């Protein structure tokens, strides 16, 4: 068998042995509710590892008995690592909750009393410190217009104008 026959197997082994480090942050301006809805998707094991390292707390996010503790530390962690400035004013993100979907954790936040969004400045260091190849992918949707940006570590700031 030639090298070409081994290529799919080699690709599979590399992907298993070398995981990727990514988070996805979706920000949606809800005109009707006058709010900015924020969803942060991370790999659950990576989020647990960062919380443990940052706060010296061992969590199993999928354990229902640890739900209140998990909510507390997810909120603390994300509030420290993600900051949004809307129209020149630092937004107050309110924690809504989290859910586990397969290997991912979705954390939900909301900035209220935001009837109009023209400028969105983002500071994001979600999962920084796990691996130098960490990438945070940002999606911002305002008035039906979606803009996306990729923040590879160590870059941690970007802006969206609508």
Q: What is the pLDDT of residues 73-103, one digit of tens each?
A: 999 999 999 999 999 999 999 999 999 998 8
Are 99 and 127 in contact by the 8 Å Cβ rule? The answer is no
**Separation CA 160–CA 138 (nearest Å):** 10
- Strand 145-152 to 89-90 pairing: unpaired
Region for 127 from its dihedrals, namely left if φ exceeds 0, alpha if ψ lies in -120 to 50, beta otherwise? left
* pLDDT at residue 17 greater than cutoff 50: no
* pLDDT at residue 6 greater than cutoff 60: no
**Separation CA 32–CA 150 (nearest Å):** 28
Three-state DSSP at 15 gives helix
> What residues contact residue 8 under an 8 Å CB cut-off, 6+ apart?
none
Q: How many residues does the chain have?
A: 162
Are 26 and 149 in contact by the 8 Å Cβ rule? The answer is no
């Amino acid at each position: 068998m030639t090298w070409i026959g081994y290529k799919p197997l080699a690709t599979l082994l590399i992907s298993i042995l070398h995981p990727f480090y990514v988070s996805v942050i979706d920000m949606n301006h809800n005109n009707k509710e006058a709010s900015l809805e924020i969803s942060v998707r991370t790999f659950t094991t990576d989020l647990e590892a960062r919380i443990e390292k940052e706060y010296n707390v061992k969590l199993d996010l999928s354990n229902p008995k640890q739900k209140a503790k998990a909510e507390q530390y997810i909120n603390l962690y994300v509030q420290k690592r993600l900051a949004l400035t809307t129209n020149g004013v630092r937004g107050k993100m309110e924690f809504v909750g989290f859910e586990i979907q397969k290997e991912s954790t979705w954390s939900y936040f909301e900035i209220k009393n935001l009837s109009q969004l023209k400028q969105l400045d983002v500071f994001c260091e979600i999962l920084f410190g796990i691996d130098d190849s960490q990438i945070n992918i940002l999606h911002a949707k305002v008035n039906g217009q979606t803009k996306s940006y990729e923040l590879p570590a160590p870059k941690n700031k970007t802006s969206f104008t609508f």
